[in-house]
Amino acid sequence: MSDVKMSTGSVQVDGCKAPLFYRQSEPASGEVKMSVLLLHGIRFSSENWLNIGTLEVLAKLACRAVAIDLPGLGQSKAAEAPAAVGELAPAAFLREVCERLSLAPAVVISPSLSGMYSLPFLHQHQDLVRAYVPVAPICTDKFTAEQYQSVKVPTLIVYGDQDVDLGNLSLTNLSNLANHKVVVMKGAGHPCYLDDPDTWHKALTDFLTAL
């Protein structure tokens, strides 16, 4: 672990009433090639990215990775969410997170629930998104095919083939994105990255290395 520096912190975002907790990893050498923002699903938190080693993998790729606990979840329970679960959050929410943490332009990794945050941000602030990695996110049906086609951000669509609901629905909608690749994880469910971290890390590493 000596080549990776891990830390935790908190960031205050307007309207959330309490700060958001985050975990951060970066190369110990200090040379950073890109920034990555990791979001999470409703039953999860930044701790999952630590436990399966994603934070470490990203730091070894010379990325600065920040995994936040979304408002009302994980160690950000006291923070107030800017929208109800399943509604689109204002794009300004993630913009502010990226600005306050000096992440932009960031690679945004967005599983499940976090689609309500990442999708508005992607559509309204393409210039702040270096790349997008949706993992069966919610809210994909709230945008039209035309809206997706106008997004040029490099995208890696990832889902588990056992995730018949959100996996298939999100794939159908996100396939309209102009610049995308798809990775289907065999035998994996909705949180496919937890079911098979090795395949997840290989797909992510290959995608980021090619950017």
Q: Which two tokens stand for residue 111?
A: 């599983």
Q: Which two tokens stand for residue 109?
A: 């990794």
Q: Which residues of 122-158 are buried (b: 16+ CB within 10 A; e: fewer)?
A: bbebeebbbbbbbbbbbbbebbeeeebeebebbbbbb
Active site residue ranges: 112, 163, 190
Q: Which two tokens stand for residue 127?
A: 């210039």
CB 193 within 8 A of CB 135: yes
Residue 48 Cα distances to 32, 95, 191, angstroms = 23, 23, 10
Rounded-to-integer distance, Cα 108 and Cα 125, Å: 12
